[in-house]
Structure 1
Amino acid sequence: MNVKPVLLIFTDSVALPRKYPEGKILWQETYIAKIRAHYPAYDVINVSIGGASIKDLRNQINYYMVLEPEIVLLQCGIVDAAPRAFGRLELEIVTKMRLLRFTKPFVSFLRRYRAHHYAAPKEFEQKLVALKEGLNPKRFIALGILPSSSDYEIELPGITQNTVKYNAILKKHSDHFVVLDDIPRNGILSDNHHVNAIGQQFIFEQLQKVL
């Protein structure tokens, strides 16, 4: 039996289908589905976790090392680059104690002055290297974090600078770094960090240049 080489895709929710206020993205419109359809020579396997930090994706690799992937494609970073008011444990405690509504007036202030990260740059780099070395592919492809907008900078002060910083880490440790800075603005949803069908098609076309 001929065994296909494995193309393993690790992503956060950016790659997933979703409903949004103006419409929806079907599975067939995602860049993962397009890769499957256009590259039948590969066994395309995706591990996609909504809201995933690099730590969450790193924690999954023990299940996939056995695949000995030829290519690993990673899309991750916005969850960690975003400055936050609370850490995950803090947010869990605040939520369980039903204090979230009392903290809302202070979230913008706390986000600006605490600027907490689920994985700060040093830890992000450590987990990224661990993921890459653990899976040990022949080629490691990383997608850049989507470019921020002026509206997103107002919502999350510091996100523009953080995007540059985290993208530099991704580029440093990838064999192919796919820059998404030229993605059409009408391909990015109003939440500023997810994409619609236009954005998914753009990402797929950029990936075709390196696959």
Structure 2
Amino acid sequence: MKKLYVVFFSIAFIMVFIYSVRLTKINFGGNTRYSDEEMEKILFPNDFTKITLYNFIRSKLKKDYNIPFIQDIDIYVTGLNSADIIVYEKSIVGCVRYMSSYMYFDKDGIVVESSNKLLEGIPIIDGLDFGRIVLYEKLPISNENVFNEMLDITQVLVGYGITVDRITISSDNNITLYMDNIEVYLGDSSELNGKINELKDIWGKIKDLSGILYLDNYNPIRDDTTYTFRKR
């Protein structure tokens, strides 16, 4: 009987110890869509989820956290009370309006997220003709040329680190960017890299103005190409 009590109290002591050892120092990395505080509330909503042993176990399991705009999460327990959390966000280059939601797509035109929230820094693409949109499938744009133009312009903008609010692609495949109070008319998709590079160079001079910048006459061969900026 005495041995039974010893075993019982030993188990109780171990359980109390396990429950009392929790994460108090949590470092996040890779998250831009959510703040550290928001990520902590999502991943650790109560005291139990902060137990160190629990997090050590779930760090070894492949878990789908099902968090909007988050592709994956790695948990590294670094001490009795500390852990590093690495957040891998979904790669998003643009979105389209569909019914009452924003459908976000990646560099390959695959729809990776649906939300009623418009993310800051992600352009809305207008002027596309598409059918029924299905999550995790390619955007159903009927015109393949327009589809490729859309992907080209979004990726070029990402490459140059330029953020736009909206992009329109007209029925004759001409592209216009909307940035604050400025419209940037690019014309067709030819010489996109050159046009966006010129925009980057010019932006500092016009960013506080309101009007339309015409870059459709960009010519990579000429060094003296002039551009028109029409104030409103």
Say whether the fold is shared (TM-score over 0.5): no
> As a proportion of its length, which structure holds more helix?
1
Greater relative contact order structure (CA < 8 Å, 6+ sep): 1
TM-score (norm 1): 0.23
